[in-house]
Amino acid sequence: MALVDYLIDRDEVKGVFTAFIRPRLNPRLSLYCRELVGISQETIDRAEPLAEVLGQLREWLTRADRLTVPTSGWGNRDRVFLSADAERVGLPLPLHPVPHADLENFYRQQLGIGDRDAVRVRIGLEPNPARHRALADALDLRGFTKSLRKPYSR
């Protein structure tokens, strides 16, 4: 899990929250998953459980006075999965009440393209070599949100 707090108008990173979560239901990662995200099983075994990480996230958001600031992402799948996991263990999700900007849906509507890499090429963003790592993906979204200031044509 990773969140990046930044000022859009100046593209200035103000803070970063990143943490691994030890899964409860499937604690052993598949080879596919380990290779896709480049995370070792040992890292996951040492990670905190969801309750601890959500507590840390709430503290981080509170200190930064960001509990009500909208989030953005490529789709809403990560928020849906995190919400479902939190609900499964009876935990409140700090991000639940705030609005979420779905950049995948935005670009699909504006450019007729929903594939992240195709949009990246179309709007002139560099490739993300660390794709699928939470922090790299969160920082990568800055490029997509920054590009929203430009007009687009189909």
- CA-based angle 55:8:62, to the nearest 5? 20
CATH architecture of the domain with range 2-149: 2-Layer Sandwich (3.30)
Contact 3, 16 (CB under 8 A): yes
Please tell me the distance from the alpha carbon of residue 134 to that of residue 74, in angstroms, as a whole number.
12
For the stretch 60-67, contacts whose Cβ atoms lie closer than 8 Å and that sit 24 or more positions apart, written own/partner, are 60/3, 60/15, 60/17, 61/17, 61/94, 64/5, 64/14, 64/15, 66/5, 67/94, 67/98
Please tell me whether residue 14 adopts helix, strand or coil conformation: strand
Please tell me the distance from the alpha carbon of residue 42 to that of residue 23, in angstroms, as a whole number.
13
pLDDT digits (tens, 9 = 90+) for 23-36: 888 899 999 988 88
pLDDT digits (tens, 9 = 90+) for 65-95: 888 888 888 998 888 888 888 888 888 877 7
Block residue for tokens 């950049």 = 103
Within 10 angstroms of residue 144's Cβ, the number of other Cβ atoms is 20
Please tell me whether residue 76 adopts helix, strand or coil conformation: coil
pLDDT digits (tens, 9 = 90+) for 105-153: 999 998 999 899 999 999 999 999 888 888 888 888 888 888 877 765 5
Within 10 angstroms of residue 102's Cβ, the number of other Cβ atoms is 17
Q: What is the mean pLDDT of residues 43-61?
A: 91
pTM: 0.79
